Structure 1
Amino acid sequence: MAVADDKAAGSFIKGAAILSAAGIISRFMGLGYRVILTRMIGAEGMGIYQMAYPLYTIMLVVSRSGIPVTMAKMIADRMARDENKDAYRVFTIARVMSVIIGAVFTLGMLVLAGPLIRILRLDPRAYYAILAIAPAIFLVSIMATYRGFFQGLQDMRPTAASQIVEQLIRTITMIGLAYYLLPLGLEFAAAGASFGAVTGAAAGLLLLFYIYFRRRGDIFEFFVESEEVVEDYQTGSILSEFARLGLPITFGALVRPLMNFVDWVFVPQRLQTAGFAMEEATTLYGLFTNVAMPLVNFPAIITVSLAASLVPAISEADALEDRELIAHRTHTALRFTLFLGLPSAVGLTVLAGPLSGVIFSEPEAASILRLLAWGVIFITLQQTTSAVLQGIGRTDLPARNLALGAAGNAVLNYLLTGLPLFNIHGAAAATVLGFFTAAALNIISVLRRVKNLQSLRTAVVYPALSSLLMGAAVLLLHGFMAETFVGRLPLAELVILLASVAAGAVIYSFLMLLSGALRYDDLILLPRVGENIAIFLGKRGVIDGYKKGEKLEEGKRSEDK
């Protein structure tokens, strides 16, 4: 039976790997369309385009964020109890809910677009972009229901496939419409780019429809025609359960969009207070949100995948009441996060000019990126520590801590951005301090609940020193190559940038190996190639923690071995 087979074949690790791969592909496509759009319509056009997103994201989160996770849990719980008919009933009720909620929030966005622009003193050219993106809420809400249904069956492939198709069609539409409508004005080009969210969602939803109806015979047989005697859940009790489980999830998911909403509300307005014209404020807002922030968020792709794997690993250890194993896995994850976050921050700082100028053709964003770059450390730590807390059952703490960070970000954003001395750099500083607050509170929460956590001193000192030395070397190397080859070779600036990034990775890895900070336990965390690299280096005595012929047992090897 196909549905049962899909469920039996699925495992969390396999599902997480599928979703992580889809997320990385989608993120690369997302960065690609931002690069092309920024070069096509400039920072001012991107500022208009970005002004549609905070309101859209908030309404989207409220309308659909709690549905797929809650429904997946409710379906899985009922199937574990052989209550197949009621599992399917959860899906049918959720589908109706998503249609109603999606329609209401789409209409709300269409109605509120004009008044909000006037009240918040936003660029009136953003009106068309908001109208263009609004229908995507309806489509994404329905799509989330079908994704949640398949996730409840522990089959992540439909979700992953729909994510890739959604992003692909979105990218094609955005670039095509922006190019076609640009002669009519920046506001119409931005609206065309915003409409890509609608076509992308429609494509992803159609793919899920196809997968669902292709399997509907098996689905109907497995769920509706099952012979099991099950508890008869009333619609009211299912809706009550949706509210009880879904509202906390929705609240937690709202915090990041609210931080973007704060930027949307405060930054253009406070920049005007600082003395910038509306067009200048829109341009600076575009540099901040569409050039600097995507580059800062890029290293977090890896920690998002790490967090996805860490939650069940910590949950398993917590269920076994193995405190030593919880501490070991937490320590390993935090080491890995610091090993990634520290060099990423230094690298983005050192190469801020080339990254902004070569990739986005917006060198003015370099000063913003240099300040925002240090937020990488706190963004990645916040994600990892949130996963630890969720794994031990304290899902409320990451949401609370991030909310406090968002509140601090709002206050500082308002105060600093309105000062001519800081202007857009005030928004960047507020963002860094907001994530610092959330990460620090998360770390305190982890230290209070994860006992016997080993010292992370070496996990901070060695990567920090290696990162600084790497940054100095890359700065000198990039300067030498730029002076030598720019103007003499085709695409010299791009080649030099790529060579500098590659050299930085090699230098940092060499310094970490030389210091002894990088161990066998760390390398095997790298997907696919990690274990082979670890064994190769371990056999040659380059790294510690490897014994010939011994299979590593996670959590049982001593850190001081």
Structure 2
Amino acid sequence: MSRRSILLKGTLILTLTGLCTRVMGFFYRIFLSHTFGEEGMGIYQLVFPVYALGFSLTCAGIQTILSRLTAKNTALGKEKEARELLYSGLLITVFLSCIVTLLLQKYANSAAVNFLRDPRCEDLLILLSYVFPFAAVHSCICGYYFGRKETGIPAVSQLLEQSARIAGVLLIYHIGKSQGVSFQISLAVIGLILGELASSSFCLYMLRKQETRRMHTPSFLGLARHAPKLLVPSLPLTGSRVLLNLLQSTEAVSIPLKLQLYGMTGREALSVYGVLTGMALPCILFPSALTNSVSTMLLPEVADLQAVKDRSGFLSLVRKTACSCIAMGSICCVFLFVTGPWIGRWLFHSSLAGTLIRTLAFMCPFLYTNGTLISMINGTGKTSVTFLINGASLSLRLFSVFLLIPLFGILGYLWGMLASQILVFLSCLIFLIRFSGKRL
């Protein structure tokens, strides 16, 4: 099968999977917003920066490096080495995730009070800590198959994760309701655990099934030999992602606080934050299922083009990807601008959600393109460049949080988000064009 056919097939599988999970997640969020209210959604969204930080510390960097090294070794016919890299990655990430789990459980109260500034998050953080070991297994195995450009198992695991999460929460909720038991928003965090448990179990089952057929058992020396190949290049990537997540966490925690400086009460500020992150942004990100699929497939594709020094193919890939994503984003921009008030009013029962969706619609052409361009830069191995670009983008958003929100409310933050997306778009294009001429 040709390179183009493999790319299109993988993108199609991931896109269909992404659309299914987005549709499921969209209605799931409607259920959460109706059941727990805007303030409950705000509390739930507050713990996600901690989730992202823990994921970055444990497996995000290794997953990216594992995918890239798997693509390289598979292209060279080194199947055994690729599998040993996977086993090394699993041992490292599961070990790190267990440490993060224990630390988060011990310091959940301090994190909730001093970092998230809301003691109600303590129970959510304790529950969230159990997610990381399962997420480590899931991410490593998916990274391995993405490197092999085999998207079937990651796609099914993604569907299974979303299905288990939603079905588990709905089942527990309705059983509890029939027994007269009322639940808090922590039920949604239990859903995260159920989803990762189901997806990691499926990935392990499929991996063991394939490895039994290949009759290959990795040796301890082989695992130890490959560990530095994963750890050394992943350290700067992990460090950059941790730093970016710390900035994102600062941003997330500061938004409700700065909204209070604008004149809102604590409850009103948390409700606005919940509407923005739990209703409006997921609606804007819904069409990105396609671009996320393209991003996933582009990383190993760019690594292949770089290996053979195909400058014209690289430039063609940049041009076609950018033009396609911009076109799709422009169509989505018009659609969301027109239908935003209706979506907020009829689906979320929130007029504020409709206003935010209409304002955020202008980001779509840049937002959908930036993910693919960032993935292409990571595919070249220049992860430090993506860190600088994302760091500049976050700095601009933090500027809007600390200086614009107290003056203009949440609208000031939305202006900062739009400006940051434009900055990322221009920076990525300039780098990719210059890189293709100088380095390929």
User: What's the TM-score, normalizing by structure 1?
Assistant: 0.69
Which residue, out of 430, 436, 439, partners 1:444? 430
Which residue, out of 111, 123, 130, partners 2:118? 123
Offset, 1:306: 3.3
Q: Match of 1:370?
A: 358
Distance 1:354 1:179, change over 3 A: farther
Which one has a bigger Cα radius of gyration?
1
Distance 1:310 1:93, change over 3 A: closer
The percentage of counterpart residues that share the same residue type is 22
The DSSP-based 3-state class of the residue aligned with 2:185 is helix
Q: Match of 2:57?
A: 62
CA distance in 2, matches of 1:73, 1:313: 10
Contact persistence 1:417–1:424 (CA under 8 A)? yes
The DSSP-based 3-state class of the residue aligned with 1:163 is helix
Contact persistence 1:56–1:109 (CA under 8 A)? no
Q: Match of 1:430?
A: 416
Q: Match of 1:492?
A: none
| 2:92 corresponds to 1:97 | yes
Higher relative contact order, chain-length normalized (CA < 8 Å, sep 6+): 2
Offset, 1:289: 0.5
CA distance in 1, matches of 2:124, 2:103: 15
CA distance in 1, matches of 2:61, 2:304: 24
Q: Match of 2:156?
A: 161
Offset, 1:245: 2.5
The DSSP-based 3-state class of the residue aligned with 2:107 is helix
Q: Match of 1:506?
A: none
1:164 maps to amino acid:
L
User: What's the TM-score, normalizing by structure 2?
Assistant: 0.86
Contact persistence 1:180–1:189 (CA under 8 A)? no
Q: Match of 1:28?
A: 23
CA distance in 2, matches of 1:272, 1:179: 36
CA distance in 1, matches of 2:176, 2:266: 22
Q: Match of 2:207?
A: 212
Give the root-mean-square deviation of aligned CA atoms: 3.2
Q: How does 1:31-42 map to 2 (within 5 A)?
A: 31-42=26-37
Offset, 1:101: 0.8
CA distance in 1, matches of 2:68, 2:309: 23
1:287 maps to amino acid:
V
Q: Match of 2:403?
A: 415
Distance 1:67 1:308, change over 3 A: closer
1:30 maps to amino acid:
G
Contact persistence 2:67–2:300 (CA under 8 A)? no
| 2:320 corresponds to 1:332 | yes
> Hey, which of these two has a bigger chunk of helix by percent?
2
1:397 maps to amino acid:
V
Q: Match of 2:42?
A: 47
CA distance in 1, matches of 2:313, 2:72: 27
Q: Match of 2:226?
A: 238
Offset, 1:405: 0.5
Q: Match of 1:247?
A: 235
Q: Return 5+ residue gaps in structure 2 as ranges.
A: none
Distance 1:395 1:366, change over 3 A: same
Distance 1:25 1:247, change over 3 A: farther
Distance 1:315 1:76, change over 3 A: closer
1:428 maps to amino acid:
L
Contact persistence 1:143–1:204 (CA under 8 A)? yes
Report the count of equivalent residues: 432
CA distance in 2, matches of 1:13, 1:252: 31
Offset, 1:391: 5.2
1:200 maps to amino acid:
G
Q: How does 1:56-455 map to 2 (within 5 A)?
A: 56-75=51-70, 77=72, 86-120=81-115, 122-151=117-146, 154-177=149-172, 188-219=183-214, 221-222=215-216, 233=222, 235=224, 237-251=225-239, 253=241, 257-258=245-246, 260-311=248-299, 318=306, 321-390=309-378, 394-419=382-407, 422-449=408-435
Distance 1:148 1:447, change over 3 A: closer
Contact persistence 1:318–1:392 (CA under 8 A)? yes
CA distance in 2, matches of 1:353, 1:406: 28
Contact persistence 1:173–1:193 (CA under 8 A)? no
CA distance in 1, matches of 2:74, 2:325: 36
CA distance in 2, matches of 1:22, 1:207: 16
The DSSP-based 3-state class of the residue aligned with 1:189 is coil
CA distance in 2, matches of 1:119, 1:273: 19
